[in-house]
Structure 1
Amino acid sequence: MISRGEDAAPVTPSSVASDGPARAARLLLREARVASLATLRDGAPFLSLVTPATAPDLSVLMLLSSLSEHRRNLEADGRCALMVTGAAETRNPQTAARLSLSGRADEVTGDETAGLKARWIAAHPYAALYADFADFALTRFVAEEAQYIGGFARAYHLTLDELLPSADGVAAVASAEARILAHCNADHAEALLAIAVASGSGHGDWRMTAVDVDGFDLAADDRVLRTAFSRTVASASEVRQELVRLVDAARTGTSLV
């Protein structure tokens, strides 16, 4: 899969932001490994820290214990809000990008549970020690409203049509995900290592653990690296184009974005 082809065109660093605030908001949410969750307790707000991961369709996955107040709150009333925050551009915290979402969270059940739980654990490998404890259950948050702030005085209200990726693209990449992971991990470990090293994450036994329309995750031990594509993809062939570009950039010392 990861070999140079004529379709691997160079991409400028500005291209990641070329789709505007909606794509920037998606990338921020995909990369987030900590978030603030606001739930309702007897009609009053209650705020807590959670550790999210995203499903292919951008819904947010959280592994919550029945011993926690926020899970008990959600079982009584699934309405909630979630906020993720990036790094500040200056010493002023208000220059940090952040995404605020309001919606509803419910426990994941049925045939998809195992796959989504594995995806969450891949983003939080340290949690494998307790993820199967009886009091933990996977919860999925689905956004209904979104506000993205790209820094100081840069606020955008996003519709779900703007924020969410195309359902057809999500389905196409999801159907190829297992094949992509198996091929990259079996045949292109050196290429994955090159991307990780170029990203500043250092050497290790890096393996691809998830891929979606916005990028992919690598993991080595308890380290997890999220790498964004330069554009939203819609097929396995477009995933290949982005991987070729990233490997070329890593090996030539140019920007990964």
Structure 2
Amino acid sequence: MDEAESQEAALLAEAKRLIRTIRAATLATLTPEGTPFASLTAVATMPDGSMILLLSQLAAHTRQLDADGRCSILLAQAGRGDPLAHPRLTLVGEAARFDPSQRPEARRRFLSRNPKSELYADFPDFAFWHCVPQAAHLNGGFGRAAIYAGDAVLTRTEGCEALIMHEEGAVAHMNADHRDALKLYATRLLRLPDRDWRLSGLDPEGMDLVSGDLTGRLVFPQPVTSGGELRQLLVTLAAEARAAAD
């Protein structure tokens, strides 16, 4: 891989990292007059990286999406210093309501990512929405920008049905019995603060970690397609993390 290819791969990896680690995003919708309207909302992801939102019917942005589903979602990383020096990603797509009883994995992944939302997720005036990006624009800081088709920033899930089917059980098992390993992944492989870390989701390309308001994304060295591959990889990663601690 030459330098240009390496930079291109790094930019795409940054875009995917923002999709998986940002939990509060700016949602831009269109008013009936066609005026852009921006608000703040919690987000989570499906296994392929498409966006899940939980919106109140009382909110202006929800009524606007009911009339016109076109929207954009800005995922911006906060940090010290100049806010414009930190990476951000704009996703452009069309949002649609879905029935969580028909897609329980979406509801589960959203609430695992945003547990405080469980207080009102079942209120009658709240509904879940799904947005598949049609385009993406990355600003990774000065001199680092890229434009992608929507599918370029998504995770391929074809052939990974076995993994996705067992994701809920794997997440529950890791959180119940292997919190020490999750802590090692976070602190030794990702260099995140030494806290109690929890797994919020898995997909073929990586795993999402949360601890309070902090998030982390551990990218797998190669995609996994089944529970057996996942178990083997997690054991290997734990060994690498322990070695890094020595």
**TM value normalised by structure 1:** 0.80
Q: What residue identity is the alignment partner of 1:136?
A: F
Report how far residue 155 of structure 1 moved: 1.1
Q: 2:171–2:200: 8 Å Cα contact kept in structure 1?
A: yes
Higher mean C-alpha displacement, 46-55 vs 159-168? 159-168
Partner of 2:71: 80
Partner of 2:52: 61
Report how far residue 24 of structure 1 moved: 1.7
- Unaligned segments of structure 2, at least 5 residues: 1-5
Q: Does 1:200 align with 2:193?
A: yes
Of 28, 35, 59, the match for 2:25? 35
Identity %, equivalent residues = 35
Mapped partners of 1:130, 1:45: distance in 2: 27
Cα distance change of structure 1 residues 157 and 128 upon mapping to structure 2, 3 Å threshold: same
Cα distance change of structure 1 residues 133 and 201 upon mapping to structure 2, 3 Å threshold: farther
* Correspondence list, 1:138-217, <5 A: 138-168=128-158, 170-196=160-186, 198=188, 199-203=192-196, 206-217=197-208
Report how far residue 121 of structure 1 moved: 0.7
Cα distance change of structure 1 residues 176 and 227 upon mapping to structure 2, 3 Å threshold: same
Q: What residue identity is the alignment partner of 2:154?
A: L
Report how far residue 147 of structure 1 moved: 0.9
Cα distance change of structure 1 residues 148 and 91 upon mapping to structure 2, 3 Å threshold: same
Report how far residue 224 of structure 1 moved: 6.0
Report how far residue 216 of structure 1 moved: 2.1
Partner of 2:35: 44
Q: Which string of whole-angstrom CA distances, capped at 9 and with x for unpartnered residues, describes residues 136-189 of structure 1?
A: 100111111111122112110112342222231553431231342244345434
The SS at the match of 1:153 is coil
Partner of 1:5: none
Cα distance change of structure 1 residues 81 and 223 upon mapping to structure 2, 3 Å threshold: closer
**TM value normalised by structure 2:** 0.83
Mapped partners of 2:165, 2:94: distance in 1: 26
Q: 1:17–1:24: 8 Å Cα contact kept in structure 2?
A: no
Q: What residue identity is the alignment partner of 1:79?
A: R
- Unaligned segments of structure 1, at least 5 residues: 1-15
Partner of 1:71: 62
Q: Does 1:226 align with 2:216?
A: yes
The SS at the match of 2:9 is coil
